[in-house]
Amino acid sequence: MDTLLGRRIVVGITGSIAAYKSAELVRTLTQEGADVRVAMTRASQRFIGDITLQALTGHPVATDASAEGTSGMEHIDLARWADVIVIAPATADFLARLAHGRADDLLAALCLATEAPLVVAPAMNHAMWQNPATRYNLTLLRGRGIRVSGPASGEQACGEIGPGRMCAPEQITEDLAGIFATRRLAGQRVVITAGPTWEPIDPVRMLTNRSSGKMGFALARAARDAGAEVWLISGPTHLAPPDRVHFHPVVTTEEMKGAVEGCLPADIFIGAAAVSDYRPAEPQREKIKKHDERMMLALIRNPDIVAEVARTKPRPFTVGFAAETSDLVSQARRKLLEKGLDLIIANQVGVPGIGFDADDNEAVLVEQDREKPLSRMSKDQLARRIIDEITERAPSAPVTPV
C-alpha cells in the first residue's frame, strides 16, 4: 500500500487503557511512509509515556505542557499541517468534547481548528459505548463527516465482553488509507487559476476585483490531496502558496493566459480566477494627473482564458466559475454553453459571510442538463466536494503522463 506515503498524519491519544496500542499504530503508519506527529491529552500521559511516541516518530509530542513552552500556536500549526487527524484511542469524554466543539486542551483545540478529515477510534467499556449519551455524540460527529474506525467487540480490559475495544492498528491504518485511496486523481495533471488579475491604468493604479484567491487555493490543495499533480496560477493574493503544488504567480490577464498555455495539455482545468473582463486600452507610463471633473478610460476586452482552454486539443475537462448577483443558475448555464465548458460552479455574490474574501462559500454545480446545490460550508470543504464531483465526471485515464 503506498496511499499513505508522504501523508501528514496527526495521531491524537486520549486517556484509555488502549493507549498502549497507539504506539503500534504510530509505528505501522511510519512504516507505511507517513509523516506522523503525536498530540496527547493530559489523561493519556498516565497510560503511555510521551518519550515512547517521541522515539517512534522522531518528533517531540505536542501536549498542553509543550504548548506552554512554544509560540502558543502549536495547535494551529499542527491543524494546518495535517492531511488527516486520527484520535486513537478516543475516550467517551473526548468524543463528548469533540461533539460539542470544546477547545479546552491542545488536542481538542487542534481538532476544532483543522480543515483536515478527522477519524476517531473509540475505546471504552461496552456500557459506556452503548450509553445513549455516547450514541448521540457519535450521531453528531458522523453528521459532521467525522469518520469512526471501529470499535471492535470482545473481551475488555474490565473483564466484561461486548463492543468498545479499540480496533487493531492495522484496521485503523487501512481506514486511513481508504480516505486517500477514494481520491482518484493519481497521475492526473490539474491546472487551476486563482485570485484576481491586476490591469494597470498607470504605474500606481489598476483595474481589479475583490477575489481573495481562497477558493482557488483550496481547490489546489484538494486536488493535490486527491493525488493529482497540480499547477496553480494565481494573480496577486495574500495567501501562502500551498505545499507540493507548482505555483506560478502572475499579475495581468495576459500573463495568466501565457502561464496557462505553458501548463497545457492537462487532464483537468479549473478556472477559479476572477479574471478582469476588460483592461485599460492604453496603460500610461507616467502617473495620470488630475485635470477635468470627468475623465474617460478606454477599455478593451481581455482574453477569456477558460473559453480558450475549452477549445484546445487535447481538451482538458474544463470547469469554470460564475459569480452572479441574480438569476444564478440561468446565467451560469448560459456561460457554460457559450464557453463550451463541462461544468460551472455558480456562486451568488453579495450575500454576507460567503463569496469574496469570506472563509465560507456555497455554490450550485451547473451542467447542461442538471444542477446540484452545495450548501454553505468552508471553502476547504467545498473544494473537496467540487474535486469529488469533478472526479466522478472527468475521464479517468490521464491524457498526459505526469
Ligand X SMILES: Cc1cc2nc3c(=O)[nH]c(=O)nc-3n(C[C@H](O)[C@H](O)[C@H](O)COP(=O)(O)O)c2cc1C
How far apart are the C-alpha atoms of 118 and 25, rounded to whole Å? 16
For ligand X, which stretch binds (CB under 6 A), given 13-21, 28-36, 60-68, 274-282?
A: 13-21
Q: Residue 305, interface with ligand X (CB under 6 A)?
A: no
Nearest residue (CB) to ligand X, 111 versus 275: 111
Q: Is 358 in the site for ligand X (CB under 6 A)?
A: no
Shortest distance in whole angstroms from residue 15 CB to ligand X: 3
- Distance between alpha carbon 107 and the CA centroid of its chain, in Å? 20
What ranges make up the beta strands (E) of 118-195? 118-122, 147-148, 152-155, 161-165, 189-194
Is there binding between residue 138 and ligand X (CB under 6 A)? no
The smaller minimum CB distance to ligand X, of residues 168 and 307, is found at 168
Of the pair 24, 360, the CB lying nearest ligand X is at: 24
Count interface residues toward ligand X (CB under 6 A).
15
Is residue 15 within the footprint of ligand X (CB under 6 A)?
A: yes
Q: Are 385 and 363 in contact (CB under 8 A)?
A: no
Q: CB of residue 126 vs ligand X: minimum separation in angstroms?
A: 11
Task: Please give the residues from 60 up to 119 whose contact with ligand X meets the rule CB under 6 A.
Answer: 91-94
Residues near 153 by beta carbon (within 8 Å), at least 6 away in sequence: 161, 162, 163, 164, 165
- Shortest approach of ligand X to residue 353 CB, angstroms? 33
User: Would residue 111 show up in a list of annotated catalytic residues for this protein?
Assistant: no
Cell reading at 49: 509515556
Cβ 168 to ligand X shortest distance, Å: 16
Q: In whole angstroms, how close is the CB of 49 to ligand X at the nearest point?
A: 15
- How near is the Cβ of 114 to ligand X at its closest, in Å? 17
89, 14 Cβ separation under 8 angstroms: yes
Interface pattern 243-282 for ligand X (x via CB under 6 A): ----------------------------------------
**Among 22, 28, 44, 347, interactor with ligand X by CB under 6 A:** 44
Distance of alpha carbon 305 from alpha carbon 259, whole angstroms = 11
Of the residues 111, 158, 167, 263, only one is catalytic, namely 158
SS3 annotation, 92-109: HHHHHHHHCCCCCCHHHH
SS3 58: coil
Nearer Cβ to ligand X (142/393): 142
| Adjacent-strand bridge partners of 152 | 165
User: Could you please report the per-residue DSSP string of 178-212?
Assistant: HHHHT---TT-EEEEEESB--EEEETTEEE-----
Residue among 105 and 199 whose Cβ is closer to ligand X: 105
**Cell numbers at 148, concatenated:** 469512526
Residues 174, 137: Cα–Cα separation, whole Å: 24
Q: Does 188 bind ligand X (CB under 6 A)?
A: no
Is residue 14 part of the contact set for ligand X (CB under 6 A)? yes
List residues binding ligand X (CB under 6 A).
Answer: 14-18, 41, 43-44, 91-94, 123-124, 128
* Residues forming the active site: 158
